[in-house]
Chains A and B, each alone.
Chain A
Amino acid sequence: MRAVGQLRWFRLVAGLGFCLALTLDALAQQKLDIAPRVTVAIRDARLVTVSGETIERGTLVIRDGRIAAVGATAAIPSGAQIIDGKGLTVYPGMIDAATSLGLVEIPAVAATVDQGEVGDYNPNARAIVAVNPHSAHVRVTRYNGITNVATMPDGGVICGQATFINLYGTSPQEMAVVPSLGLVINFPRLNTGGGGPFAAFRQPPPANIAEAIATRNRRVEELRQVLREAADYGRAKAAAAADPNIPRPATNVVYESLLPALRGEMPVFFRADRAQDIHAVLAFAEDMGLRPIIVGGNDAWMCAAELKAKNVPVILTGVLDLPSREDDPYDVLYENAAKLHQAGVKFCISTGDNGAHVRDLPYHAGMAAAFGLSPQAALRAVTLSAAEVLGVSDRLGSLDVGKMANVVVADGDLLEPRTRVKYAFIDGRPAQLTSRHTELYEQFKERK
């Protein structure tokens, strides 16, 4: 008895101590990304909801992992921790809709690259399996107010399945918001030479353009064939399920993984930049009954009417790229977003980066704003529009009651490079804003 009583007493004291230590700062300094959800009220802050009006002075409440209240006035639950938001602005966390963050640590070191598989058709390769929660890129990215990314495989024709993750968690499963987000396809394109900066490794331009076109067409037909076989497989399975007299086809993991896309349950991310390729993707997807999303989209502005008519969204990854044609206007890619916006095409802005530079997402959006997009639309392009394109806007992308509490608090305009993120919450948990970089900085700033 006595021993039990002592244990209870000990538990009570320990519990009290834990409660006392449960301040935001303490949680945000936890070494692992497994802090409990908190109840927090950010008061007197500027609230940029993105979905609606900006509230110049208001309160946002986070509770049970969700946004519990947003408004000029809001009831603050008892026991909530208060953040004085004076001079601060609250935003939904930014979303980079097309990265390979977590699959590549150092591109020059092959052992750290898990981005692509061998062979042309790997629809069953799933990014969520290989995302490294402990990649230094995760926290470095989060530091700038990016709370979510879509991570995609690359290589071959059907690269595999993208995943959508929180930049928070100690396992891929803890990070996953949508484990299998969609299929990723590098749409076969015309070989016009190129392939990197090394002349020795570069593909020569085709000697015979007709041959190059034939090769591209053959590869497209191959892709079509794989999808048709998968659809046949799906029909055979359905028929067997409906009628016990029909033999069940042997399970084929490759075909199996294509079925959700063929049934329209899963979008297909088509990497395509040039107008002719975008046009070909649209025709192909329509023909095959797929739900396409264009990734890249450097020439999307040329196809705006068609994209709009077919209601196909675009994830722009090349806002900061150099124009691909020598005679393009210098700002052709800076202006791409503004032109799509004007044409009413659904789009969002992404870095397209494999990890280390996803943190620069706000500057990609900012540059589009310097060239014709309104600052509001630019912010939307890396928050709510990204969520919409990825099909997660019911949960993320804006400051609305009921949404997942992925919220950042900054000391200024989120798209400005000089702005600092002061707090970040992911799934209602306070997220550390330390990183490999801040740690090295802390170490070496003391060395005089």
Chain B
Amino acid sequence: MLNTTPLRFALACGLATALGFGTPARTPAQQKAQTPTLIRNATLLTVTKGTLENSDLLIENGKIAKIGKGLTAPAGARVIDATGKYVLPGIIDCHSHSMIDAVNEGSLSVTSMCRIRDVLNPNDVDLYRALAGGVTTLNLLHGSANAIGGQNQVVKIKYGRPIEEFLFPDAPPGIKFALGENPKRSNFRFPGQTQRYPNSRMGVEETIRDAFVRARDYKRQWDDYNAAKARGENVVTPRRDLQLEPLVEVLEGKRYVHAHCYRAEEILMLMNLAEEFGFRVRTLQHVLEGYKIAREIAKHGAGASAFADFWSYKVEAYDAIPHDAALMTRAGVIVSLNSDDDGRARRLNMEAARVMKYGDLTENEALRLITINPAIQLGIDRRVGSLEVGKDADLAIWTAHPLSVYARVETTFIDGEVFFDRQTDLARREALARERAELEAAEVNRPQGGGAPPPVPARRRPAYSFGDNCMQMTKE
């Protein structure tokens, strides 16, 4: 399933890496994707169409072709007996920093010109670990060092494939905003840098307002130009402004705003500001005090993408309660749960289970938090987020109900293709151990002075350039 091992990255030269990942040719796995798959006798947690016991699901051409009882397998189909097992749509993580080699452009307070898409690393091993937790789609966001951060990228976790195959087809573009302690840099200073505006929540508002005032003028300039041109006048083309272009798209409703936020008043501030400028905040990220103003969030029409029970890591997270997601759900807000962390991404099912307990959600409401709701928030619910005929075959087979702590992912599919399979993984371990031993013994890895190699484990390539641990500061 994997084209190469992470070990090879550590030990072999860059050429091997390039060969392993850079080839666009169809792999055997991809050819297999065209082979139909019949999952038999499972409990299907469709999320949007109820729970179907002892049912079958047929995957053809990467799509969910049929759902029902006693389906017959087409010729040559791979048949999986899933008796006693559960099928859940692929989990969608609405806030992730996986694959991102440079999370924060923390220099300016407005960095809308930066694109996360430009710095994606498809070889991040945490992607494989997320797949093993049943996750298939990520919303990759810029960091939270700036009031207006960079442009996001939604991906399918096609680990082992060239980067082009990760990009989620037709996912609406978005941009990251950030409010509160991080953009005002309450908890950190970049060494050697002078203090930066803003330094308070007042300044955060002013920073965003100023940017949109400029964007509005810029849009007018172009609208005037286009109108004049349409009239056949000979006019000079305005100068392009890469910082303001994405904000114009926000004003036009073509780009989603995903806003990192904590405290109630800053959330209200952003929604009021958005309404004043005629756009809507698509998702409030973290939104730990969202429960205090759930009514206003529902009225504005923003989605909320929260943590289940993460709190007390900084002052603005001290009023966070594990009932947050449930209270917002009850108020009519579309709520999702996100990880913001490669470790937590592997257990989003457990996050959903906790919200169910604390906030009295039903099983299906809890499952929605990690499947169809984030799909709606990201504008990709046409394709993913539930088990429905015609949707992409992005799903995972679980050994028990995914809201149980004892549940484990057996197989994860994206577009009908297997990207994680526990049995394959287990079977490969011995071969990998052998390969590791061979590589360690290889001439190129021997110390030049002779003797045994020093017992230093290879450092993981740091995933972020700076400032991106949620606990401390600015990834979020």
Q: Give B contacts to A, CB under 8 Å.
A: 5-7, 9-10, 125-126, 128-129, 132, 181, 186-188, 190-191, 291-292, 294-295, 309-315, 317-319, 321-323, 327, 330, 342-343, 346-347, 350, 353-354, 356-358, 399, 403-408, 425, 429, 432, 436, 454-462, 464-469, 471-473, 475
Contact = CB atoms under 8 A, between A and B. Distances in A.
A356 B353 contact: no
A136 B292 contact: no
Nearest to A209: B454
A371 B5 contact: no
Contacts of B126: 322
B313 A440 contact: no
A108 B315 contact: yes
B455 A276 contact: yes
Given A105-B312, A324-B460, A326-B460, 10 more contacts: A106-B314, A107-B471, A193-B459, A197-B469, A200-B466, A325-B458, A327-B10, A416-B353, A417-B405, A441-B323
B318 A106 contact: yes
A445 interface: yes
B327 A418 contact: no
A94 to B, nearest CB: 14
Contact of B408 (A202, A371, A375, A440): A371
B136 to A, nearest CB: 16
Interface string A416-428: 1111100000000
Interface of A: 105-109, 136-137, 190, 192-194, 196-202, 205, 209, 213, 274, 276, 320-327, 329-331, 355-357, 359-360, 362-363, 366-367, 369-371, 375, 415-420, 436-437, 440-441, 444-445, 447-448
Contact of A444 (B190, B291, B313, B473): B291
A356 B315 CA distance: 13
12 contacts: A109-B315, A136-B318, A200-B191, A322-B129, A326-B9, A326-B125, A329-B429, A357-B310, A415-B405, A417-B405, A440-B323, A444-B294
B466 A356 contact: no
A205 B404 contact: no
B93 to A, nearest CB: 15
Contact of A108 (B358, B458, B472): B472
Given A198-B466, A327-B6, A371-B408, A106 B313 contact: yes
Given A320-B347, A355-B312, A440-B321, A326 B128 contact: no
A369 B405 contact: yes
Contact of B405 (A109, A199, A370): A370
A148 B10 CA distance: 43
B327 A441 contact: yes
Given A106-B312, A106-B314, A197-B464, A190 B7 contact: no
Contact of B406 (A190, A202, A322, A375): A375
Nearest to A416: B405
Nearest to B11: A327
B122 to A, nearest CB: 15
B409 to A, nearest CB: 10
B475 to A, nearest CB: 8
Contacts of B6: 326-327
A429 B458 CA distance: 52
A367 B347 contact: yes
A326 B353 contact: no
Given A200-B190, A326-B6, A192 B457 contact: yes
Considering residues A327, A360, A362, A375, which has the most beta carbons from chain B within 10 angstroms of its beta carbon?
Answer: A327
Contacts of A330: 128-129, 132, 346, 425
A321 B460 CA distance: 14
B192 to A, nearest CB: 8
B403 A327 contact: no
Contact of B354 (A199, A327, A417, A445): A417
A439 to B, nearest CB: 9
B312 A136 contact: yes
A146 B425 CA distance: 35
A356 B181 CA distance: 19
Given A107-B471, A419-B357, A448 B295 contact: yes
A190 B456 CA distance: 8
Given A326-B9, A330-B129, A366-B405, A420 B315 contact: no
Contacts of B129: 322-323, 330
Return the 4 tightest CB-CB contacts between A and B, nearest first.
A366-B405, A356-B312, A197-B469, A108-B314
Contacts of B327: 441, 444-445
Nearest to B472: A108
B425 A329 contact: yes
Contacts of A419: 357
A327 B5 contact: yes
Considering residues B294, B295, B321, B330, which has the most beta carbons from chain A within 10 angstroms of its beta carbon?
Answer: B321
Contacts of A375: 406
B335 to A, nearest CB: 15
Contacts of B342: 322
Considering residues A136, A198, A355, A415, which has the most beta carbons from chain B within 10 angstroms of its beta carbon?
Answer: A198
Contacts of A444: 291-292, 294, 327
A331 B132 contact: yes
A166 B9 CA distance: 48
B418 to A, nearest CB: 15
A198 B467 CA distance: 5
Contacts of A322: 126, 129, 342-343
B327 to A, nearest CB: 6
B466 A199 contact: yes
B14 to A, nearest CB: 16
A201 B190 CA distance: 9
A196 B342 CA distance: 15
B267 to A, nearest CB: 14
A108 B464 contact: no
Contacts of A105: 312
A197 B425 CA distance: 29
A370 B471 contact: no
